[in-house]
A and B are shown apart, each in its own frame.
Chain A
Amino acid sequence: MVLITPSRSLLLIALVLLALFPLTGSTFYIQLGAKILIMAIFALSLDLLVGHTGLVSFGHAAYFGLAAYALALISPKYEPANVWMTLPLSMAIAAFAALVIGFFVLRTTGVYFIMVTLAFAQMLYSVFHDTQLGGGSDGIYIYVRPELTIAGFKPLDLESPLQFYYFVLILLILVYGFLKRILQAPFGRALAGIRLNEQRMRSIGFPIFGYKLGAFVIAGALAGLAGYLAACQFGFVNPDILAWQQSGTVLMMVILGGMGRLHGAVLGALAYVLLQEILSAPAIVGVFAKHWQLPMGSLIVIIALVFPRGIGGIFDVALRRYRTAVQTPTQ
């Protein structure tokens, strides 16, 4: 029997809302929705490292951007690429990069880890920025979105914003379920142990390095999935996609939503993208729209100083109150 708990019902409500959201109609909002879902996948992948393994990676955009470039570089110019071929390949490239970089960066801990992940991501940035491999600083266009065909049958047409939205939504649900599953599995419990007390886990006999590297590679592959989808949606890739601002942004999403909770990453992506959209809309903030980073930066400072547990933390408090209210018989 499936228990109906407040958190499960909230999740179900969220899912129904996400599925029904495109009924609002406007293409602009559907595309904005798809962007939020893509960033949610990206934030989920980072939460596996930051929230669940205790590894603060400040170079997570590298894998996001690498997969986006992979799609741009392997797509034929005027014909659609095949999703079944390009998606696994792009994710594999991101995963492989995470494997190689992880091999180096996981030798360090704490603040070294933050700086070294940042430095390696910046190395990839300068590769794409300085060389002509991916069109230099101008980037590359993807003129035609990849096609999803199974033996001549096309279940979803990714050129349509509505169908692309559902494609991303399905992938988000799969990623969410996958992460939920591995976090409950022994692998995820080991990661939690590493986050809480690495020394103790090592003395019990866990191969710490292997577990961390495993998490790093999974996170890299999932970030690659998000990057692939972002490249599909925007039809354009340039070095900014793997710049460190992007790494900072996704880290902010994880914190904003409340790290260590999967729904937190999704909430954080939603809140951040909406906030950015509002702060950079001339219709709402007038001439300040051009300088949206000023209020955004101030908000980041204030939120990190005052609400270190993010929106998810606020939800948790509300849920706990609800539970206590249900359990305590009313007098």
Chain B
Amino acid sequence: MFYLIQLLNALQYGLLLFLLSSGLTLIFGIMGVINLAHGSFYMIGAYLAYWLAKLTGNLWLAIPIGVVITLGIGGLLETTIIRRLYRRDHLYQVLITFGLILIFEELRSILFGNDVHGVTIPAALNYSIPLTDTLSYPVYRLFVTGVCLVIAALLYWVIYNTRIGMMIRAGNSNREMAAALGVNVPLLFAWVFAVGTALAGFAGAIAAPISSVFPGMGNQILIICFVVVVIGGIGSINGAMIASVAIGLADTLGKVIAAEYSAIAVYLVMALILLWRPQGIANRA
């Protein structure tokens, strides 16, 4: 039973990572932009959920509104700044998005202060399923797992079965050729970026009741997402899926075996994969 709980936790964490890293890996694969500020959108989503839930008293209302706002911020950022980075060296992309993190973090500090805030789980889901006399599993976590699975399935469907998905895949494998064949590349880029950031915002919003909202929350998860993208291979949705779940398992397993060193387990997995397949598990060399 104890291991079932850990397994469920690993799955929930892994799927949450997938929502974040799928956006990150697509933005990199399609536009060639390394976006350090991706984690900031996770934070923005979480803080919006916290703030709107307090305002409206209803998390179910807060999450969609928050996601729409995140989508808007993402779109605005793409058209004002990110668009200028497509042809620039990675070094400048790193610096500019690093600067953006500082701006977002400081705005967060000005607007919400530096305290940790809890977000209440909606009453409908605020109970636990008893498993044994002493152990039980919170329904909200199951709900998060389910929602992440639905979104992941939707994402797969869009990418592999629709016309938009075809354009995204075309842009991912050969940008110039896709443009030459009549894909409106600037528009496609803007939407991929905005939807990628909205996914990150959504992940932050649904994770907020579990993890609460706190300063630096975006940066912490961003680096884990980098590990996922490196393991999975840049631009690969499949790779991101496998790697997310693997990292979810490694992290949870690490916490069970040696809590203090759990963070290291994730990086050890990365080091081993780098030795085996430096280009990521899903990409060919």
- List chain A positions with a Cβ less than 8 A from chain B: 50, 56, 58, 104-105, 107-108, 110-112, 114-116, 118-120, 122-123, 126-127, 130-132, 244, 248, 251-252, 255, 291, 293-294, 296-301, 304-305, 308
Contact = CB atoms under 8 A, between A and B. Distances in A.
Given A126-B263, A291-B109, A304 B223 contact: no
A111 B106 contact: no
B234 interface: yes
B90 A111 contact: yes
B261 A131 contact: yes
Nearest to A292: B106
Given A123-B264, A132-B260, A304-B95, 13 more contacts: A105-B274, A108-B230, A114-B34, A115-B226, A118-B223, A118-B226, A119-B270, A251-B98, A293-B103, A294-B106, A300-B96, A301-B99, A304-B99
Interface residues of B, number: 41
B94 A297 contact: no
Contacts of B271: 104, 120
Contacts of A294: 102-103, 106-107, 110
Contacts of B78: none
B107 A119 contact: no
B263 A123 contact: yes
A255 B96 contact: no
Given A112-B230, A116-B270, A50 B91 contact: yes
A301 B270 contact: no
Contacts of A305: 81, 84, 92, 96
Interface of B: 28, 34, 81, 84, 88, 90-92, 94-96, 98-103, 105-107, 109-110, 219, 223, 226-227, 229-230, 234, 260-264, 267, 270-271, 274-275, 278-279
A138 B98 CA distance: 26
A255 B91 contact: yes
Contacts, number: 120
B96 A304 contact: yes
B264 A297 contact: no
Contacts of A297: 99-103, 106
B90 A107 contact: no
B230 A119 contact: yes
A17 B95 CA distance: 31
A322 to B, nearest CB: 28
Contacts of B264: 123, 126-127
B91 A293 contact: no
Chain B binding surface, main DSSP class: helix
B267 A300 contact: no
Given A255-B91, A305-B81, A305-B96, A291 B106 contact: yes
A244 B94 contact: no
Given A114-B90, A131-B261, A291-B110, A301 B100 contact: yes
Nearest to B105: A293
B261 A130 contact: yes
Best-buried of B28, B223, B229 by chain A (most CB within 10 Å): B223
A104 B274 contact: yes
A294 B264 CA distance: 32
A291 B260 CA distance: 33
Nearest to B264: A123
Contacts of B219: 244
Contacts of B223: 118-119, 122, 244
Best-buried of A111, A115, A122 by chain B (most CB within 10 Å): A115
Given A104-B271, A119-B227, A58 B107 contact: no
13 contacts: A50-B91, A105-B274, A108-B230, A111-B28, A115-B226, A115-B227, A115-B229, A119-B267, A120-B267, A251-B91, A291-B106, A294-B106, A304-B99
Contact of B274 (A108, A127, A255): A108
Contacts of B90: 56, 110-111, 114
B279 to A, nearest CB: 8
A123 B267 contact: yes
Contacts of B229: 115
Contacts of B98: 248, 251-252, 300
A107 B102 CA distance: 30
A98 to B, nearest CB: 15
A108 B81 contact: no
Given A107-B274, A255-B95, A300 B102 contact: yes
A308 B92 contact: yes
Contacts of B230: 108, 112, 115-116, 119
A192 B154 CA distance: 48
A299 B232 CA distance: 34
A115 B223 CA distance: 8
B124 to A, nearest CB: 36
Contacts of A118: 223, 226
Contact of B92 (A58, A112, A304): A304
A35 to B, nearest CB: 20
